[in-house]
């Protein structure tokens, strides 16, 4: 079996457990396709055999496991606040099943309720692309967008753009009370902006969402037919 290996704190627990089972001989023949350089390093450290996406496509990715930043009632997701959205979407969209593991705080009535929706953009002309994204939501109360930055080199009191594993930048979109409207239409309009590579709305991709509740119970939510 070939697995898509997610990125983030939740996925890290899955990697550790998968490594334990492989070392115990309980999962012979399992290999993974990592969704980020960080996951690649973690998976290698715990002994998970790795494949690139092009090599895995022949054998088909049977199952991807990852967390999410938000999950709406239709199991649409916001992912990629850590910056790995492009590789996550490529790999998790290429498989047969995509299982998402979250705690109940990630359940939202609408996407964009709890934080940024990330958009990966090419560095060339990034301020121009940011302006086009702002224009798309011009007049929407409470909307704002910015380029994600991180502290510059040590000793410098400056900020510099966050750079993804693909060498791109991230624009963060914020909505006062989440996104209202046709998500697929909004997705299409974002992707038609030249300079936008991909966005962090994962629409109709999750097949199962496993929710850990505060009281210790677990709920399993399946995609509606």
Q: For residues 6 and 152, give the distance between their C-alpha atoms in angstroms, rounded to a whole number.
A: 28
Q: Is 176 considered catalytic here?
A: no
Q: For residues 123 and 167, give the distance between their C-alpha atoms in angstroms, rounded to a whole number.
A: 8
What single string gives the DSSP state of each residue in 57-71?
Answer: HHH---EEEE--SEE
Tokens 């009191």 sit at which residue?
157
- CB proximity list for 1: less than 8 A, separation 6 or greater: 27, 29, 30, 31, 62, 63
In terms of Cα–Cα distance, which of 7, 8, 9, 63 is closest to 31? 63
Q: For residues 128 and 205, give the distance between their C-alpha atoms in angstroms, rounded to a whole number.
A: 30
| Set 40, 70, 88, 198: catalytic member | 88
Q: For residues 204 and 32, give the distance between their C-alpha atoms in angstroms, rounded to a whole number.
A: 23
Catalytic residue positions?
A: 88
């Amino acid at each position: 079996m070939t697995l898509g290996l997610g990125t983030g704190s939740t996925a890290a627990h899955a990697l550790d457990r998968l490594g334990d089972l492989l070392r115990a001989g309980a999962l012979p023949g399992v290999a993974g396709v990592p969704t980020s350089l960080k996951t690649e390093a973690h998976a290698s450290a715990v002994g998970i055999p790795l494949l690139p996406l092009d090599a895995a496509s022949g054998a088909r990715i049977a199952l991807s496991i990852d967390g999410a930043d938000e999950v709406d009632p239709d199991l649409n997701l916001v992912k990629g606040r850590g910056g790995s959205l492009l590789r996550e979407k490529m790999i998790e969209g290429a498989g047969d099943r995509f299982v998402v593991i979250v705690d109940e705080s990630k359940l939202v009535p609408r996407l964009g309720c709890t934080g940024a929706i990330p958009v990966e953009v090419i560095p060339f002309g990034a301020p121009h692309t940011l302006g086009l994204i702002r224009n798309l939501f011009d007049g929407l109360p409470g909307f704002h967008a910015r380029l994600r930055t991180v502290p510059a080199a040590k000793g410098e009191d400056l900020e510099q753009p966050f750079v993804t594993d693909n060498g791109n930048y991230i624009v963060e979109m914020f909505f006062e009370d989440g996104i209202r409207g046709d998500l697929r239409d909004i997705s299409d309009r974002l992707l038609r902006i030249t300079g936008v590579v991909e966005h962090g709305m994962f629409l109709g991709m999750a097949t199962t969402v496993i929710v850990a509740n505060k009281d210790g119970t677990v709920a399993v939510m399946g995609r509606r037919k």
